[in-house]
Structure 1
Amino acid sequence: MESLSRHFVIGLFAILVSACTAAAHAASPYRVVGYATDWTTQQAAALENIDALIFAFAKVEGNDVALPGDAPERLAKLVALKRAKPALQVVIAVGGWGAGGFSEAAATAQGREAFARSAAQLVKAHGADGIDVDWEYPGRSDAGIAASAADRANFTALLKALRAALDASAGEERHYTLSIAAAEGSFAEGIDIAAVEPYLDWFNLMTYDFVNSTTPTTGHHAGVYPSSLAPSGARSVDGAVREYLAAGVPSRKLLIGAAFYGREFGEVTPSHDGLYQRYERYVTEHSWPEIKRDYLGRNGFVQHHDAKAQASWSWNARTRSFVTYDDPASIAAKAAYVKAHGLGGIMYWEQRHDPEGELVEAVRSGLR
């Protein structure tokens, strides 16, 4: 009997701890939102730390929003998670880098209506909770997609039509969310930020890829602030947030981005341990498990942290290789920034790059 009582107390304590953890998450004013192309049982531990998953990606086909290939099956895995966590939101992202069709669909009232109607139908048919528009980017053809000077006004009109269609489909009993993936600086010139804000529940600021295969030097690809070594006008989380706040976006609608992957550069000029130096070759991207396994104090790499930029990198002096990434330390700095500026939370790309949920836990822990 004494053993049974002890087991009962232990079990009750575990239930109370679990309930308190869930209550703390529910009461948190900050959101953790992750993009996900798929879901595996290996990722189950991360679920308790996530408020919303954004499925990547639906595409624009003609003027309609549709799920290509095996996307319906992958989306269904995310929606099924709501059985284990009813409060979880599952949002369908449309687009992504290199995904076209937006400029053409948004160019006419008929095209916008078809886009909006089909997107709302898709949400309802698959038991999802909203739409995230990932047009990268209005007015720009960098990704090999069609672009027009009219995209700026048409983007606003498209979101207005989409907001109306989602509201009509949801009825009075619920609310379907509408968000966008957005960047800053020249990437935001094709958006009338103040005009689109009323239609959106939040902005996913893609505060990563600040350096990549197209930039002339290495650097922090997801730094909170500019490094002291960065050139004038260098991109940063702080710069992006300030631009959107100045445009009139309420701080709570801004979610800053964390990168669950890093970028490697080769044959780098060795000054300053490779930081903001010229390179001969862009190598590739690495997921967080790869970074931990091969680049954190391993294989000749030495880890560094830039206190001013609040960003980490690894440098191999022998091979002249440079890797930039987010890690638990830089994510903690982003969480502190969110709380200091009253932002809405943190979003990240993407779930498969953090299969054990270590970085998701760092996000949630930092936002507590």
Structure 2
Amino acid sequence: FVGWYLGDEKIEQLSDIHYTKEDTVKTLTAKWESYSLESLDELLNSLIPEHATEDITLPTTYSGYTLQWSSSHPLVISSNGKFNYAYEPTIVTLTAIITNLEHQVITRTYNITVPHKKPLNRPIASGYIWRNYNTVDDRFFQTLDIINTAFLTADANGNFSSTTALNDIYDYIFPKAKIHGNWVVFSIAPESKWSDIAISATKIENFANNIVDIINTHGFDGVDIDWETPSSGEQVRYSNMMKVIYDKVKANNPNHLVTTAITGGMWQPPMYNLSVSNAYLDYINVMTYSMSSSAGSYQNALYNRSGFHNPESRVGQTPTSVSIDASVPIFNSYGVPNSKLIFGLAFYGVRQARTFNTSTEAWGPWTATSPSAHYPEIIASYLNNPDYQYYFDDEAGVPYLLKKDGTVFLSYDDPKSIRLKAEYVKENDLGGLMFWEYGTDPTGTLLEAMRTHLSK
């Protein structure tokens, strides 16, 4: 404490204050010595790390000093110390402009290294998680570049009406993703009110703003749009919606991802106006699973085949274009490059069943049965069951199981088909592979095959 001052005059005692008859109030100011600059430096060095993984406290005042901060990379560490992971190797320089009581200006700079996300080098390893969040382990994070967390649901006005998945994402995904550098994207559910949103420019605007708000509030790295069934006549509405979403997400942070999920084959791609909307998508998650669930057809073929693999039981066929290989030129025809196409693996099996009519002595058609078979069930109840026979179709590049009495057909992916699909992706310089979904194979068997054959 220096003392009390009346203007620039130091007052030692009250008798030093002289009044005139015009005076009604005299205002005294208490003055203090500021701490030394060395003391300020010591404080700042204790607050600002050489390597940051969380928010940093950046003081704006200290004793008699004022500090004004700036950042070389404000999207990584802001001028108020807010931290976000970088998307490439980055050194952030924080600069403090320091002014003392004498209005002298001093500058201090601090160089900080920060962790960064995995580089999205092809082939990308991606996947969805919808259930069994609590079973994820290090292999999940080590394998995947992009984690699609499912689902948040949007209502007819473009507001998020269901966000319960956030609890699991906070508990089981974000902590490890920060360690391993995964890109964590939130997927918006197929049952969202897409048609209601897309018909209105006002609702689209609100929807896009809410997407950006979710990204910023929770720290996501982008959004995945799962409008899986647009109808004829909604193509332009889809591309109009995607443009607004893309523009707002990229304006907020150009590194954030905008992706979508579209079924493979010839029927769904025409519904998305891809010749236009392609410009507003970083990647397309091509759902080359559950592409067919009847007539003894594979749900997930790598290649189309001619006729049945098993003509006697009439199983093991591919309808026109229902394969990865047939889907590539379909998307290419709309101007979508191979580098944007991430093809799907089935971590589950689609079951079909048929019955024998003893009166007509004829088999009925193969039809889908619910629920799907998770991979652990496939191992325990089918592969290890003497009532079933395993086959691998080298022409189509996928396995299947057939009950020996001819009543059940199961189409799925296994480590061998994943190897073939990974080789295909690499040979054709495609974007990568993804899967639906982690909760259907918590054993990690199929994930390990993906990791091995994508060289992750």
TM-score category, normalised to shorter length:
0.7 to 0.9
Q: Identify the residue that residue 153 of structure 2 maps to in structure 1.
A: 59
Per the alignment, residue 226 of structure 2 pairs with 134
Alignment of 1:243-322 (within 5 A): 243-267=330-354, 278-279=365-366, 282-318=369-405, 320-322=407-409
The CA deviation string for residues 204-253 of structure 1, in whole angstroms up to 9 with x for no partner, is 000011222xx3x1221101012322366251111111100122111111
Partner of 1:34: 127
Matched position secondary structure for 2:371: strand
Q: Do the aligned partners of residues 349 and 232 (structure 1) sit closer, same or farther apart at CA in structure 2, a change above 3 Å counting?
A: closer
Pairing of 1:139-158 with structure 2 (within 5 A) = 139=231, 149=233, 151-158=234-241
Which amino acid in structure 2 is aligned with residue 53 of structure 1?
Answer: I
**Residue deviations 1:256-278, cap 9 Å, x none?**
11010001122367xxxxxxx93
Structure 2: distance between partners of 1:198 and 1:204: 15
- For 2:217 and 2:158, locate their aligned partners in 1 and report how far apart those are by CA, in whole Å: 15
TM-score by length of 1: 0.82
Q: Quote the RMSD (CA, aligned, Å).
A: 2.3
Cα separation, partners in 2 of 1:232 and 1:207, compared to 1, 3 Å: closer
Task: Report which of the two has the higher share of helix.
Answer: 1
Contact 1:258-1:347 at 8 Å conserved across structures: yes
Contact 2:345 2:436 (C-alpha < 8 Å) held by counterparts: yes
2:179 is matched with which residue: 84, 101, 104?
84
Cα distance in 2 for partners of 1:88, 1:155 equals 28
Task: Show CA shifts across 1:91-150 (max 9, x none).
Answer: 011122xx141111111211110111111111111111000000011116xxxxxxxx2x
Shift of 1:254: 0.5
1:178 alignment counterpart: 258
1 CA distance for matches of 2:174 and 2:318?
44
1:223 maps to 2:301: yes
Aligned counterpart in structure 2 of residue 119 of structure 1, from 193, 211, 218:
211
C-alpha separation in 1, matches of 2:367 and 2:267: 26
CA contact (8 A) 1:267 1:281 kept: no
1:237 paired residue number: 324
Would the alpha carbon gap of residues 161 and 28 (structure 1) be closer, same or farther in structure 2, given more than 3 Å must change? closer
Opposite residue 281 of structure 2, the aligned amino acid is L
- Alpha-carbon spacing, 1:193–1:280, altered in 2? closer, same or farther (3 Å): closer
**Number of positions where the alignment pairs a residue of Structure 1 with one of Structure 2:** 321
SS in structure 2 of the partner of residue 348 of structure 1: strand
Alpha carbons of structure 1 residues 281 and 287: separation in structure 2 relative to 1, 3 Å: closer
Cα 1:306–1:351 change in 2 (3 A) is same
Matched, 1:72 2:166: yes
Assess if the C-alpha contact under 8 Å between 1:45 and 1:356 holds in 2.
no
| SS state at 1:190 partner | helix
- C-alpha distance in 2 between matches for 1:103 and 1:242: 28
Partner of 2:442: 355
Structure 1 contact 120–165 (Cα < 8 Å) conserved? yes
Distance 1:268 1:258, change over 3 A: farther
SS in structure 2 at match of 1:241: helix
Cα separation, 1, equivalents of 2:435 and 2:318: 26
How far did 1:280 drift? 5.7
SS at match of 1:59: strand
Does 2:283 match 1:202?
yes
Deviation at 1:64, TM superposition (A): 2.1
**Does the C-alpha gap of structure 1 residues 302 and 52 become closer, same or farther in structure 2, counting only changes over 3 Å?**
same
SS in 2 for 1:64: coil
Q: Normalising by the residue count of structure 2, what TM-score does the alignment of the two structures yield?
A: 0.66
Tell whether the 8 Å contact from 2:154 to 2:162 is kept in structure 1 after alignment. Answer: no
Cα distance in 2 between the residues matched to 1:244 and 1:345: 15
CA distance in 2, matches of 1:207, 1:41: 25
8 Å Cα contact 1:197-1:249 kept in structure 2: yes
**Structure 1: unaligned runs, 5 residues or longer:** 1-24, 141-148, 270-276
CA contact (8 A) 2:153 2:163 kept: no
Cα 1:26/1:72, change in 2 over 3 Å: closer
Q: Which has the higher contact order (CA 8 A, sep 6+)?
A: 1
Identity of aligned residues (%): 26
Encode CA deviations 1:3-56: one digit per residue, 9 max, x unaligned.
xxxxxxxxxxxxxxxxxxxxxx85852111111124224533322111111011
Q: Deviations over 1:307-332 (max 9, x none)?
A: 10001001111362111101111111
Are positions 1:101 and 2:200 aligned together?
Answer: no
Aligned residue type for 1:313: Y
Shift of 1:197: 1.1
Structure 2 residue 433 is matched with structure 1 residue 340: no
8 A contact 1:313–1:323 mirrored in 2: yes
Q: Quick one: which amino acid aligns to residue 129 of structure 2? A: A
Unpaired stretches in structure 2, ≥5 consecutive residues: 1-117, 308-316, 357-363
Determine if contact 2:147/2:184 at 8 Å carries over to the other structure. yes
Q: What displacement does 1:185 show?
A: 1.6
User: Which residue in 2 is equivalent to 1:5?
Assistant: none
Match for 1:195: what amino acid?
V
